[in-house]
Chains A and B, each alone.
Chain A
Amino acid sequence: MNPLSATRTILRVEVLALRHRVLKRGPVRLVLLAIFLAAAGIFILGGAFTVGATAGHFLPGAIDPVLVGGFTGLSVLMLVVGFPTVIATFFVGRDLLQLALAPVRTIEIFIARLTLAMGANLLISSILLAVVLGMGAGAGAPPAYFVVAVPLIFLQVLAITSTQTVLMSIVLRWVPARMARDVAAAVAGLTGAGLYLAWNLSLRQSFSGRSRPNVDNLTLLIQRIDWLPPAWPGHALSEIIAGHGVAATTWIGLTLLMNVALVAAASVLYKHTLLAGLGVFGSAQAIWKRNDRRASAPAVGAASGSGSPALAIARKDWLAFRRDIRRLSRLLPAVLFPIGYVFAVTRPSRSMGGFWSEVLLVAFMSMFMSTTLATPSIPSERRGFQLLRMAPLPMWQVLRAKVLLTLPPVLAMTMAFGVVVAIASSNGADRLLELSTLVIWLGCGFVAIGVSAGGIDPRFDALDDRRAVGLVGTLAGLGGSLGFGLLSVGAFALFIFGGDALAGTAQLGPVPSTPAIGALMWAAGIVLAAASLAVVVVLLWLANSRLRSFETAIANT
């Protein structure tokens, strides 16, 4: 019998399942999807290739930092966003239970699951591949560069996936079972986000050389990342371009050795933790039990009055969110990312230009947080959505409850972010007030759009939040958010400049700063604000009507 026959069988089944999932869509949807993917591929990969080629041709001195940054960036991205995939692939699923019961060696399960876990990361790494190939083409690299580039990127993905498996196995092996899920979530969130911060600060320090307030001591310690293993493949490729064969071979050898060590460690640890992992992650925390029965009682003020469906949904979501390891492990990096971004990117500025960069930063953060928290809020009901549908509850109440639940954390995070940025920039109380107003407006709009996107095209049968919204919903959410964001920021700008014009202090270039111009700008601002509001209303209306009539996902559950 072939020693890896079980691995082949497992992978073949996964390929078959993928094929069925793809073919389940109608031919029209498939063609549209193919066109969209082709266009996005050409746009994204073509753009990445062009960036690489330009850097390779015009910035020969930056080849090594760019390659190192690219490989390290890919590693960090995989570490941050890939942990839930690794947990799900290696430790979750009824099919995994079936494999654990079957007379199949753990090493075969490990190889099959490693291959599956690498799939998404390999897709992400295609962007790096385009940059690397572009850089080689731009710098006139020898053929060996192109031959080695693809395997090196593959090895990078393999190394990171194995590292994640090792980390999860260590948690499972040495952390008590009752704490394993929480520790795993913390490790998943903090590892990638921490490395991201270090990487971001280091890169900026390397390229700009400018001192940075408050974080100088920190960056001095970690400002060079050349020695980190994720940088080794980048060095290997830059040495090939420079024609240093021995150095390139050394870096490639080190990369290979690191991979062998990591894969071996991961397979050994996985063998000893598969069953423990299935116990901890495989079902909803079988060991969890409340000690205090009173804690199970409804929230404060529950002793009298009628039950409120909206509050019940909010309370249920809050409890479920805290206890769902996969969702929680995705939230932590999402929260840490923008915070790190603030510290890494913002700089004190008293200029108007600085204020507007803060406006854009706040808008980006609001959109990012809303997409992360609000978009999956309806699909994450999964089969439980049937309860809402059976209850005497109009769907707009469900939408309202989801918006009201998601709004506080998004507003709190974005507001804290805006206040920190405004104080650091010393822009004054009036600017802080304006920024706060914008934060509230954007937060309400982006959250409503995010919830609507999930309601327009929910996938209640999806086990992963990242696949819980279909293509139509994703496009509606992105398009709606961009439209709303642009219109809102435009309206905000018109109100600010219009106010200055009314006071006669605006600097509008050739346009005179008069009260009439100010009033005109305010009127235009009102129109833009109304248009942005219309975007939100239309999406909510679409979601409401879709939720009332949508049946495919319900039939699937």
Chain B
Amino acid sequence: MTSTAQGPIAAVEARQLVKRYGVVRAVDGVSFEVARGEIFGFLGANGAGKTTTLRMLCGLLAPTSGTAFIDGIDIVEQPLLAKARLGYLDEDPFVHPHLTGREFLHFVADLYRMPRGAERQRRMERLLGLFELADRDGELIGAYSHGMKQKIGLASLLIREPPVLLLDEPTNGLDPRSARLVKDLLEELSSRGTTVLLSTHILEVAQALCRRVAIIDRGRITATGTMRELRAQAGNEQASLEDLFLKLTAGPESKELIERLLA
């Protein structure tokens, strides 16, 4: 592993990231590190700033201030180098509706200058088979279901095997079988050294897969650490991730909300 005098270089590092839209601070000083080969959970309520943070990390949005590093490479200063090392899957995947699944995979592979030939073809067949898209690869993506779009988006990342994956709700819209497949795949990739930053609403997925998590609320990180560290922080050794999440993103309790609704 690459290291510096201060220690090993993190695969992903957010350092005081801020994103402002006018007077609104969508992300407000977010900092965290993800080690190589780690699956790191990034949790937050709707509109908490997860997607904006991920989009800054992958170079889609420029931070108002702060920096982000992928494998020690500054995404703002050296975007092309950093981008070559990561794959980002949006909650609503960026796909071209007028291409077929197979054409889309070739398109992405070409964009990243992946060598043509037998190896690319082998990976493509393997991924299309894995995600059960082999018999639909001639259909236009526009005709795919949401889950299929999610799968082809994921396949477009995995075909080039980037060392860092930033995934925004990757199991969103997938059937239970496919969701399980994705979870197993992420664990397998992690064991082979791929770093995964996983943003999700599904706390069971995060609890099962992630060694560490960060919780973001209204643009700020409210907690980071392992389950044990989070429990210690919350002062409840028996708490589930859901309990911790609700406690750390404090709002009205659901019982209170229901009472208000029915009043």
Residues of A within 8 A of B (CB): 283-291, 293, 296-298, 302-309, 311-313, 315-316, 319-320, 323-324, 383-384, 386-394, 549, 551, 554-555
Which residues of chain A are within 8 angstroms of B79 by Cβ–Cβ distance? Answer: 392
Q: Please give the distance in Å from A396's CB to the nearest CB on chain B.
A: 12
Please state if A285 and B142 are interface contacts (CB–CB under 8 Å). yes
Residues of B near A320 (CB, < 8 A) are 96, 98-99
- Inter-chain contact B111/A384, CB cutoff 8 Å: no
Within 8 A of A (CB), among B87-107: 88, 90, 92, 94-100, 102-103, 106-107
Asked if A288 and B112 make an inter-chain contact with CB atoms under 8 angstroms apart, the answer reads no
Contact A284 B114 (CB under 8 A): no
Contacts of B113 in A (CB 8 A): 306-309, 392
Question: Is the C-beta of B59 less than 8 angstroms from some C-beta in chain A?
Answer: yes
Please state if B94 and A386 are interface contacts (CB–CB under 8 Å).
yes
Please state if B142 and A390 are interface contacts (CB–CB under 8 Å): no
Interchain residue pairs A-B with the least CB separation, the first 5: A284-B142, A312-B110, A307-B110, A320-B98, A290-B138
Once bound together, how far apart are the Cα atoms of A306 and B116, in whole Å? 6
Whether A390 contacts B110 by the Cβ 8 Å rule is no
Q: By the criterion CB–CB under 8 Å, are B96 and A289 in contact?
A: no
Query: In the complex, are the beta carbons of B115 and A386 less than 8 A apart?
Result: no
CA distance A97 to B169 in the complex (A): 26
Asked if A319 contacts B98 (CB within 8 A), the reply is yes
| Contact B139 A319, beta carbon cutoff 8 Å | no
Q: Please, how many angstroms separate the alpha-carbon atoms of A289 and B140 in the complex? A: 7
Task: Decide: A312 near B106, CB < 8 A? Known: A307-B115, A386-B94.
Answer: yes
B60 in contact (CB, < 8 A): yes
How many inter-chain contacts with C-beta < 8 Å in the A-B complex? 129
State how many angstroms separate the Cβ of B96 from the closest Cβ of chain A: 5
Chain B residues engaging chain A, CB cutoff 8 angstroms: 21, 55, 58-62, 79-81, 83-84, 88, 90, 92, 94-100, 102-103, 106-117, 137-143
Nearest to A384 among chain B residues (CB) is B96
| Least distance between A284 CB and chain B CB atoms (Å) | 2
Which residue of A290, A309, A390 contacts B58 across the interface (Cβ within 8 Å)? A390
Question: With a CB–CB cut-off of 8 A, which chain B residues contact A312?
Answer: 106-107, 110-111
On chain B, the residues within 8 Å of A288 by CB distance are: 139-140, 143
The reply to whether A296 and B107 form a contact with Cβ atoms under 8 Å apart is: no
B62 A549 Cβ-Cβ under 8 A: yes
Contact at A390–B97, with CB atoms within 8 Å? no
Question: In the complex, what residues of A have CB within 8 A of residue B115's CB?
Answer: 304-307
Cβ-neighbour of B95 out of A305, A384, A389 (below 8 A): A384
* Given A309-B111, A320-B96, A320-B98, A390:B116 Cβ within 8 A: no
Given A284-B140, A288-B140, A554-B60, A316-B107 contact (CB < 8 Å): yes
Task: Using CB atoms, name the residue of chain B closest to A308.
Answer: B110
Whether A284 contacts B116 by the Cβ 8 Å rule is: no
A296 touches B112 (CB 8 A): no
Q: What 8 additional pairs, Cβ within 8 angstroms, besides A311-B110, A390-B59?
A: A283-B142, A298-B110, A304-B117, A309-B110, A313-B111, A323-B98, A384-B94, A555-B61
Contact B94 A551 (CB under 8 A): no
Given contacts A283-B142, A284-B142, contact A392 B84 (CB under 8 A): yes
For A313, what are the chain B residues with a Cβ–Cβ distance below 8 Å?
Answer: 111
Is the beta-carbon distance between A390 and B60 smaller than 8 angstroms? yes
Q: Which residues of A contact B88 (CB under 8 A)?
A: 390
Say yes or no: B80 contacts A393, CB within 8 Å. yes
Distance to closest chain A CB from B219 (angstroms) = 15
Q: A303-B117, A307-B112, A308-B110 are in contact. Are A296 and B95 (CB under 8 A)?
A: no
| Set A291, A298, A390: member contacting B106, Cβ < 8 A | A298
The answer to whether B107 touches A390, judged by C-beta atoms less than 8 angstroms apart, is no
Specify which chain B residues have a CB less than 8 angstroms from the CB of A319 in the assembled complex. 98-99, 103
* Inter-chain contacts of A386 with B (CB < 8 A): 60, 90, 94
Report yes or no: B116 in contact with A304, Cβ–Cβ below 8 A. Answer: yes
- State whether B111 touches A393 (Cβ < 8 A): yes
Per the bound structure, the CA–CA distance linking A551 and B83 in Å amounts to 17
A residues in contact with B143, CB < 8 Å: 283-288
The answer to whether A289 and B94 touch across the interface, beta carbons within 8 angstroms, is: no
A224 CA to B55 CA, complexed, in Å? 62
Cα A348 to Cα B83 in complex, Å, equals 58
Are B139 and A316 within 8 A (Cβ)? no
A-B contact pairs, 19 of them (CB 8 A): A283-B142, A283-B143, A285-B143, A289-B139, A297-B102, A307-B114, A309-B110, A311-B110, A312-B110, A316-B107, A323-B98, A383-B92, A384-B95, A389-B59, A391-B111, A392-B81, A393-B80, A554-B60, A555-B61
Q: Which residues from chain A contact B117 at a C-beta distance below 8 Å?
A: 303-304
Q: Are A387 and B108 interface neighbours, CB within 8 A? A: yes
The interface centre, meaning the residue of B60, B61, B98, B139 with most chain A CB atoms within 10 A of its CB, is B98
CB pair A306 B114 closer than 8 Å: yes
Q: Which residues of B contact A283 (CB under 8 A)?
A: 97, 142-143
Tell me how far the C-beta of B70 lies from the nearest C-beta in chain A, rounded to whole angstroms.
11
Q: Complex: how many Å from CA A309 to CA B107?
A: 8
Minimum CB–CB distance from A482 to chain B (whole Å) comes to 33
Q: Smallest distance from the beta carbon of A35 to chain B beta carbons, Å?
A: 24
How many angstroms from the CA of A384 to the CA of B96 in the assembled complex? 6
Bound-state Cα–Cα, A555 to B24, Å: 14
A311, B103: Cα distance in complex, Å: 13
Closest to B142 in A: A284
Interface centre among B80, B109, B140 (most CB of A within 10 A): B140
Q: In the complex, what's the smallest C-beta–C-beta distance from A323 to chain B, in angstroms? A: 4
Q: In the complex, what residues of A have CB within 8 A of residue B106's CB?
A: 297-298, 302, 307, 312
Q: A307-B110, A383-B94 are in contact. Are A316 and B99 (CB under 8 A)?
A: yes
Contact for A289 among B98, B99, B116, B138, CB less than 8 A: B138
B105 to chain A minimum Cβ distance, whole angstroms, is: 10
Contact across chains for B59 and A305 when beta carbons are under 8 A apart: no
Residues of B within 8 A of A324 (CB): 98
Chain B residues within 8 Å of A309, by CB: 110-113
Q: Are B83 and A316 in contact (CB under 8 A)?
A: no
Whether the Cβ atoms of A392 and B140 lie closer than 8 Å is: no
| Complex: A167 Cα to B111 Cα, angstroms | 41
Complex: how many Å from CA A287 to CA B115? 32
**Chain B residue with the shortest CB-CB distance to A316:** B107
Provide the bound-state CA to CA distance between A197 and B84, in Å.
52
CB of A94, distance to nearest CB on chain B (Å): 13
